[in-house]
């Protein structure tokens, strides 16, 4: 047992890690903090199990525990849609590492953990499966706050399966390779997420040897980083709670020989070979006996159901199960089941087991038949409609039909502008506002304690006590008719916010829909220092002056020709502090200054007026997919060109059109937001 000679607290920080490229920054540590109460509960259970008599010996001699696995490939048609062979290579790596198989990279100085992994052969419905689910979605460009959204796409019972998610990216260019939940956390967030180019050791991960996934599954079993707590801790009772992992002052990178903590006893080098350090994959090759004990304590308690004999039979991972080639299993979802007439629905294919082609049937839709993987269908007539999908694979076909699945309604009449809401009414919400509170927890409320921008009340959400991290809560404004408004419409409001900790930051987002709420476009985004108006404080933030409130003034000119426009003001919680909204005004440009919260800036169009030969230039803060559109005064798109992964920095494009003389809007639209200008064509 290590003993502390000096009480010292040296914490590994995240800030320096995010500046590195392709490392494993400490997102797990943030996740741990975000779910601290549940982590503490889990820790108590694990420690109690470890403290039982002879558990150490029990872990040494326990029968091999098999973990059924389902791998969800979240892709958008790119190289991130990795092969079955690459997926299998990752399962092979896990078994080599956790079983310390002789002659493999996992055969180091550690122990055989007696844990194995099996790609599931039965779905939760008892259907045949290869343990792989493929979903096409833009969520492949994954943000950690979207972890619940990711798992809403596809999720299997976490008491029966270890859910692994493979994505294109995590938090953009942050350098995060993967992350994991901790035992005992929210079921709908349970599992691990890994970038495709670090999942396995072939294909897109040819430069990797699969240890990112080994590392993350260690967390899933209840292991902390070996450097948790830094130097000066008794790691049996603190740090990573494992006696036989030497303390480390900080995470290690590369393959150094280093003794970063000289006050531990016995004084030994950092264990860079341990899978729970940040050292390079090629120098990792071990779990310790103490880590094995801790993992089995988790499996004997919190995760006891997943490896029992009954579940192995249920998932097809029992030794007696004979796997046969699987037929396809047709399935799909839609981004909305209720839409307004003349609007579109995106259908997402969720067919299992590698279909080779598809046939869709959309009675009442346009087109009525489609062979696309994920078709977009327009409904131009009122009514209720069925949808059918036939999926074809190597062993034949399978079909699924949902009757009365799509309802097409008349759009509600949008109210005229201008619109104002200052939350002065005792009734909350009022003036046509609704609250979207998906988790049924902490959400927007009326507040009269703060010093408001105007009046005596504002809308507030208490992120300080909101532990459902990543959850969004929205103020949903009523429908508006912009067509009768004679000037460019703007959304104006005031906000006030402070952090509770420099590393925690909530998010403020504005989304707009022109199709009755089926699809939403981001037009405003603030987080971090761009969101704060007051000093960081651990106590509830209460604005104390009218002057500290910040202003949003967002042009909505793109929507001028639409009669049913919906707007959401969204808070995404990160456990920060109170966020206030006041003085919502939808109408003309109050300040004369346009707020542009988008990745796109420095948008120029020339010559303007033009004869149809148009040059545009713009600047992107970061690379992303975008489209350039020209829209006439009736709201019809008369020109559109889409670009995949447009490079960051300065961009120039040339447009040659045959447009008639008149006034148009030209816009650049992306997921991050949009920017537009008036375009005049003179022939």
Active site residues: 216
CA distances from 649 to 600, 602, 643 (A): 10, 11, 15
Secondary structure of residue 638 in the 3-state scheme: strand
Query: Residue 389's Cα: distance from chain center in Å?
Result: 28
Structure tokens, 86: 């690459």
Long-range contacts for 378-386 (Cβ within 8 Å, ≥24 apart)? 378/342, 378/343, 378/344, 379/339, 379/341, 379/342, 379/343, 379/344, 379/345, 379/406, 379/408, 380/341, 380/342, 381/341, 381/408, 382/341, 382/408, 382/409, 382/410, 383/407, 383/408, 384/408
- Can you say whether the dihedral through the CA atoms of 652, 658, 662, 668 is positive or negative? negative
Structure tokens, 494: 């005031």
| SS3 labels along 423-456 | CCCCCCCCCCCEEECCCCCCCCEEECCCCCCCCC
* Residue from 55, 8, 140 nearest 645 by CA: 140
Please say whether the beta carbons of 341 and 379 come within 8 A: yes
- Can you say whether the dihedral through the CA atoms of 107, 109, 111, 113 is positive or negative? negative
Residue 594 has, within 13 A of its CA and on its CB side, a CA count of 14
Cβ atoms < 10 Å from Cβ of 536 = 14
**Can you tell me the distance from the alpha carbon of 151 to that of 145, in angstroms, rounded to the nearest whole number?**
12
**Can you tell me the distance from the alpha carbon of 145 to that of 472, in angstroms, rounded to the nearest whole number?**
9
**Can you tell me the distance from the alpha carbon of 427 to that of 448, in angstroms, rounded to the nearest whole number?**
13
Q: Report residue 218: phi and psi, to 5°.
A: -55, -45
**Can you tell me the distance from the alpha carbon of 578 to that of 576, in angstroms, rounded to the nearest whole number?**
7
**Can you tell me the distance from the alpha carbon of 72 to that of 69, in angstroms, rounded to the nearest whole number?**
10
Helix axes 36-51, 27-34, angle to 10 degrees: 90
Helix axes 36-51, 289-299, angle to 10 degrees: 110
**Can you tell me the distance from the alpha carbon of 35 to that of 30, in angstroms, rounded to the nearest whole number?**
9
> Who contacts 308 (Cβ-Cβ below 8 Å, separation ≥6)?
none
Please say whether the beta carbons of 565 and 529 come within 8 A: no
**Can you tell me the distance from the alpha carbon of 520 to that of 149, in angstroms, rounded to the nearest whole number?**
15
Please say whether the beta carbons of 397 and 391 come within 8 A: yes
* Residue from 480, 83, 510, 62 nearest 300 by CA: 62
Rg (CA), the chain: 28
Cβ atoms < 10 Å from Cβ of 57 = 10
**Can you tell me the distance from the alpha carbon of 434 to that of 474, in angstroms, rounded to the nearest whole number?**
8
Please say whether the beta carbons of 99 and 286 come within 8 A: no
> Who contacts 303 (Cβ-Cβ below 8 Å, separation ≥6)?
183, 221
Question: Which residues in 393-418 are b (16+ Cβ under 10 Å) and which e?
Answer: beeeebeeeeeebbebeebeebeebe
Please say whether the beta carbons of 356 and 392 come within 8 A: yes
């Amino acid at each position: 047992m290590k003993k502390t000679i000096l009480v010292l607290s040296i914490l590994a920080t995240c800030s320096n890690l995010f500046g590195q490229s392709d490392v494993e920054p400490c997102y797990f540590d943030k996740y741990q903090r975000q779910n601290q109460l549940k982590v503490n509960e889990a820790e108590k259970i694990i420690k109690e199990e470890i403290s039982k008599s002879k558990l150490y010996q029990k872990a040494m001699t326990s029968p091999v525990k098999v973990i059924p696995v389902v791998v969800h490939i979240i892709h958008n048609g790119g190289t991130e849609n990795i092969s079955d062979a690459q997926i299998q290579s990752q399962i092979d790596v896990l078994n080599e590492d956790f079983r310390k198989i002789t002659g493999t990279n996992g055969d180091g100085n550690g122990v055989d953990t007696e844990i194995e992994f099996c790609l599931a052969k039965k779905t939760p419905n008892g259907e045949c499966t290869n343990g792989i689910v493929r979903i096409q979605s833009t969520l492949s460009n994954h943000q950690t706050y979207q972890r619940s959204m990711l798992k809403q796409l596809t999720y299997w019972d976490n008491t029966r399966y270890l859910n692994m998610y493979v994505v294109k990216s995590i938090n953009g260019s942050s350098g995060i390779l993967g992350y994991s939940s901790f035992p005992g956390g929210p079921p709908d967030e349970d599992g691990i997420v890994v970038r495709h180019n670090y999942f396995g050791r072939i294909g897109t991960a040819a430069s990797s040897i699969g240890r990112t996934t080994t590392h993350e599954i260690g967390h899933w079993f209840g292991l902390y980083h070996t450097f948790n707590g830094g130097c000066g801790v008794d790691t049996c009772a603190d740090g990573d709670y494992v006696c036989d992992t030497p303390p480390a002052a900080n995470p290690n990178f590369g393959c150094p020989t280093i003794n970063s903590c000289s006050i531990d006893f016995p004084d030994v080098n950092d264990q860079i070979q341990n899978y729970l350090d940040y050292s390079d994959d090629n120098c990792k090759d071990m779990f310790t006996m103490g880590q094995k004990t801790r993992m089995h304590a988790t499996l004997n308690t919190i995760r006891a159901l997943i490896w029992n004999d009954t579940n192995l039979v249920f998932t097809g991972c029992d030794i007696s199960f004979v796997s046969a080639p699987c037929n396809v299993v047709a399935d799909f979802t839609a981004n909305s089941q209720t839409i307004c007439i003349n609007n579109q629905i995106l259908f997402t294919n969720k067919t299992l087991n590698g279909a080779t082609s598809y046939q869709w049937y959309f009675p009442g839709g346009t087109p009525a038949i489609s062979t696309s993987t994920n078709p977009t269908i327009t409904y131009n007539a009122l009514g209720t409609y069925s949808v059918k999908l036939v999926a074809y694979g190597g062993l034949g076909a399978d079909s699924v039909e949902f009757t009365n699945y799509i309802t097409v309604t008349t759009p509600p009449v949008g109210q005229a502008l201008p619109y104002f809401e200052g939350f002065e009414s005792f009734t909350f919400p009022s003036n046509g506002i609704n609250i979207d509170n998906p988790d049924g927890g902490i959400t927007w409320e009326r507040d009269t304690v703060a010093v408001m921008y105007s009046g005596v009340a504002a809308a507030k959400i208490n992120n300080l006590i909101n532990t459902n991290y990543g959850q969004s809560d929205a103020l949903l404004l009523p429908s508006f008719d912009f067509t009768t408004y004679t000037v460019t419409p703007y959304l104006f409001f005031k906000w006030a916010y402070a952090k509770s900790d420099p590393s925690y930051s909530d998010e403020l987002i504005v989304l707009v829909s022109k199709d009755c709420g089926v699809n939403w476009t981001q037009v405003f985004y603030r987080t971090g220092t761009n969101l704060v108006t007051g000093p960081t404080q651990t106590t509830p933030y209460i604005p104390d002056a009218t002057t500290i409130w910040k202003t949003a003034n967002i042009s909505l000119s793109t929507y001028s020709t639409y009669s049913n426009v919906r707007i959401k003001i969204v808070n995404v919680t990160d456990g920060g502090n109170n966020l206030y909204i006041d003085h919502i005004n939808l109408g003309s440009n109050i300040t004369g200054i346009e707020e542009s919260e988008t990745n796109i800036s420095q948008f120029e169009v020339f010559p303007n007026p033009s004869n149809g030969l148009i040059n545009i230039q713009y600047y992107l803060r970061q690379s992303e997919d975008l489209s350039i559109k020209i829209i006439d005064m009736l709201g019809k798109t008369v020109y559109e060109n889409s670009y995949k992964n447009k490079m960051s920095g300065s961009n120039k494009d040339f447009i040659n059109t045959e447009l008639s003389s008149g006034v148009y809007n030209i816009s650049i639209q992306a997921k991050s937001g949009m920017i537009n200008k008036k375009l005049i064509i003179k022939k």
